[in-house]
Amino acid sequence: MPGTTTKYALRYPVGSDPPNVATDMQNLASDVDTKVFGLPSGGSSAQWLKGPQGSAVWAGITTGDVSGLGPQLPAVVNGSWVYGSGGAATWKTIAQGDLPANVGTSTALVSDCNAITQSGWYNGSSVSNAPRSDWIFVLHVCHIYNPTMWITQTCWSMQANPPVMYMRSCLNGSWTAWTQISNTGQSYRGGIGSGVNSGGADISVSFSPGFSVACDGLAVCPNNPSTQNWIPRVTGISASGFSFRAEASNNDQGINYSYVAIGRG
């Protein structure tokens, strides 16, 4: 048997030792106190127990003590973010090149609005499932946790004048219809005129100029309701004009009317 333990070098009793139990216990207690719990006493505030070259001392932590824990952060720079490059941490502002391509300054070409899977800017012409066939911009924004089920798309025409904008949503996996949400593509027409519903024939009115897309609303009324007792009944409407009848007992007589119309283009 060796004379001491392998880890803490505590002494073993041997057969040649005198039979003195008290002395053996005192020696064992001394070894344990020195080798196992032999921490230095004291220790100031903001100090750590440090063991240089096998002995424990109380000391403050220096840069050299933590050199193996990874790179140290440089002094803080206001308005900047920590950036890792070449294994070192630096402070820098976020540049456009640091952002993912699909939210940068460029747009990606798309052929089907339903096939977009990532948030970002897209463009294309004759795009499937788009609100129009000319060149368009599309902004696609999807939910962070369920990006295929909850989505919003906004679409702008590159060529319409005045410009128009549309929006639709994907609600739990189902797309809504496109809705035009911009009024910038609408304009108004108005005028006054006179005509005769001879033999029940319609009075035809042309817009000047006509709408390039469609007429979306129309109002017609007598110029002087106090002297003319008739009610307009619109019989036809298009981007270029409309037709109506003056429903009254005297509808074969001459009537004077005013109108206002709203449309696109």
**Boundaries of every domain in the chain:** 71-100, 107-180, 186-264
CATH class of 186-264: mainly beta
pTM (two decimals): 0.39
Highest averaged pLDDT of the listed ranges 67-71, 77-81, 122-126, 179-183: 122-126
The mean pLDDT of 226-249, rounded to a whole number, is 79
Strands 241-247 and 203-206: antiparallel
The mean pLDDT of 187-196, rounded to a whole number, is 78
Residue 186 pLDDT > 80: no
Identify the residue whose tokens are 């630096």: 90
CB 194 within 8 A of CB 256: yes
Instruction: Give the closest residue to 137 by CA, choosing from 186, 182, 183, 176.
Output: 182
User: In percent, how much of the chain has pLDDT > 90?
Assistant: 17
Its sign, for the CA torsion 85, 86, 91, 93, is negative
| Mean pLDDT of all residues belonging to the chain | 77
Residue 252 pLDDT > 60: no
